[in-house]
Amino acid sequence: MTSIQFENVSKSYGGVLAVDQVSFDVPDNAFFCFFGPPLSGKSTILKLILGLETPDSGEIFFDGRPMRDVSSPDRNVAMVFQNLALFPHMTALENVRFPLVERNIDEATIKARVAEVTDKLHMAHILHKPPSQLSGGERQRVAIARALVRDPVAYLMDDPISALDARLREETRVELRRMQQDMAKTLIYVTHDQEEAMSVSDQMLILEEGRVCQIGAPHDLYDAPNSTYVASMLGSPAMNMASAAEVIGALAKTPDINQSTSVVGIRPEHLTVACKDGPGRVTGIEPLGATTILSIEAAGVAWKAALRGQPEHSIGAPVELSVDPGALHCFDAQGKALSAA
């Protein structure tokens, strides 16, 4: 039950700014996700929250209380590391119990607390095993349980499920989301997987080279990215980007595009593809079952179109592209979003 605020926080290592004037506000009980490519400052922000690093400037607040002089253990923030950092010589149960045993809590409380957490995570059958005998997903559970059992004010997770199988990742992220809602705790999450980030979080913060690009609910960022950078980070396949002239050349009906527009973005799912003579040519088909991804060349640009279902198309065939004017994203020469064209 803690809100976390950053106020103009900067941190540099050897003259290189890792975090640059970052401000944000993680509300109580939010699932808050930091998203960005490697070295965009995600890990540094986690370290700053944990108190493992001190900001060069700016202030960090927990529930409005400045954290500058609060040591890392006193912040009572739990962390699940990317490599999980399980103790290999202990069983899963001993791993989960560890943070409580270290705090000299009485045995009955430990038992109750551990049972509560391990029940929630459905891990009774693996408790007696050492980490070496657990699968990737099971290790994940142990690490998360070990963080949960402490009952901290907030949890930090640094890309905790990236090592799992694709299928297990999909299940675990839903599980994580459920867990967070059950526990009613602030959870700060770092990932480089856009689908995972959009799936789990209440709010996302997109970082580029230590600076905040945009903060908001995932679908707001997806529907209204404030820059080409944010637009390109979310969505798979990524948003098509082309110059205004190219868009006019590629589309059947000339859309109305604002004069100052330099780049136009169109989400693959907003492109409509008609099988008739047009400026486009199909260069690739990826049938995924639920959707079909077409690669199309038109006006010298490679486009991706995501079509629902399994429509018939053939490579090399001419096609006509069209788009609902409301689905155009317009950006200026600096890559900043312009209000709808």
Partner 1 sequence: MTEVTTLMPATKKAETQANSAARLGLWLTLPAQLLVLFIALFPILMQVYISLTDWSPLDGIPWWRAYELWIGLLNYTDLMADSRFWGALWRTLFVMLVCVPVQFLLGLGLAVLFVDDFRGKRVLYSTLLVPMMVVPAVAGYMFFMLFQSGGPVNDLLSFFTSEPVRIAWLSDPDLALIAVMVADIWQWTPLMFLILLAGMISVPQDQQMAAILLGASWWRRFFTIVLPRMKSIIIIALAIRVIEIFKIFDTLFIMTGGGPGVATETISVYIYKVTQQELIWSYVAAIALAILIVLSVVSVFAIKRMQRGQDG
Partner 2 sequence: MSEIALENLGKSFGDFTALADMNLTIANGEFMALLGPSGCGKSTTMNMIAGMLRPSSGTIKFNGLDVVDVPMAKRGVGFVFQNYAIFTHMSVRENLAYGLRAQGVRAGEMTKRVQAFAELLQLEPMLDRPAAGLSVNILQRLAIGRSAILEPAIFLLDEPLSNVDAAFRAVMRSELKSLQGQFGQTMVYVTHDQLEAMTMADRIAVMDHGKLLQVGTPLEIYNNPADTFVARFIGAPGMNILNGRLTQQADTVAVDLPGLGSVALPPALQAAAARLTTPDVLVGFRPEQINAAKAGLTMHVGFVERIGARTIVHMEQGAASAKAVLLSEVETPKARKDWTFAVPDDAIRLLDPVTGQALVGRPN
Among 51, 58, 237, 279, binds partner 1 (CB under 8 A): 58
Residue 57 binds partner 2, judged by CB under 8 A = no
Pairing of β 186-191 and β 31-35: parallel
Q: Which is nearer to partner 2, 193 or 332 (CB)?
A: 193
Residue in this structure with the two tokens 């038992």, named with its chain if needed? 111
8/135 with CB nearer partner 1:
8
Q: Which of 36, 41, 55, 218 touches partner 1 by CB under 8 A?
A: 55
DSSP annotation of 9 reads E
Q: Is residue 328 classed exposed, middle or buried when 0-12, 13-18 and 19+ CB atoms within 10 A define those classes?
A: buried
Query: Taking CB under 8 A as the rule, does residue 56 contact partner 1?
Result: yes
Residues 290-319 that bind partner 1 (CB under 8 A): none
Out of 23, 54, 109, 236, name the contact with partner 2 by CB under 8 A: 236
CB of 199 to partner 2, least distance (A): 5
Applying CB under 8 A, the site for partner 1 has a residue count of: 8
Structure token pair of residue 231: 């637009």
55 binds, among partner 1, partner 2, none (CB under 5 to 8 A by kind): partner 1
The answer to whether the CB of 269 falls within 8 A of the CB of 306 is yes
Phi and psi torsions of 175, nearest 5°: -60, -45
Q: Please, where are the H alpha helices in the chain?
A: 42-50, 92-102, 107-120, 136-148, 166-183, 194-200, 218-223, 228-233, 244-250
**Using only C-alpha atoms, what is the Rg of the chain?**
24
Among 50, 153, 238, 317, binds partner 2 (CB under 8 A): 238
Decide whether 10 or 243 has the Cβ nearer to partner 1: 10
Tokens of 160: 């905790």
Q: Is the peptide bond before 237 cis (omega within 30 degrees of 0)?
A: yes
Part of the chain binding partner 2 (CB under 8 A), chosen from 66-74, 87-95, 124-132, 168-176: 168-176
Q: Which stretch binds partner 1 (CB under 8 A): 49-57, 92-100, 157-165, 170-178?
A: 49-57
Sheet with strand 65-66: strands edge to edge: 16-26, 4-13, 57-62, 65-66
Q: Is 182 in the site for partner 2 (CB under 8 A)?
A: no
3-state secondary structure of 206: strand
Pick out residues in 254-283 that bind partner 2 (CB under 8 A): 267-269
Q: Which residues are near partner 1 by CB under 8 A?
A: 8, 10, 54-58, 68
Query: What residues line the site for partner 2 (CB under 8 A)?
Result: 37-38, 135-136, 162, 165-168, 170, 174, 177-178, 181, 192-196, 198-199, 218-219, 222, 233-238, 267-269, 284, 286-291, 293, 295, 306, 308, 310
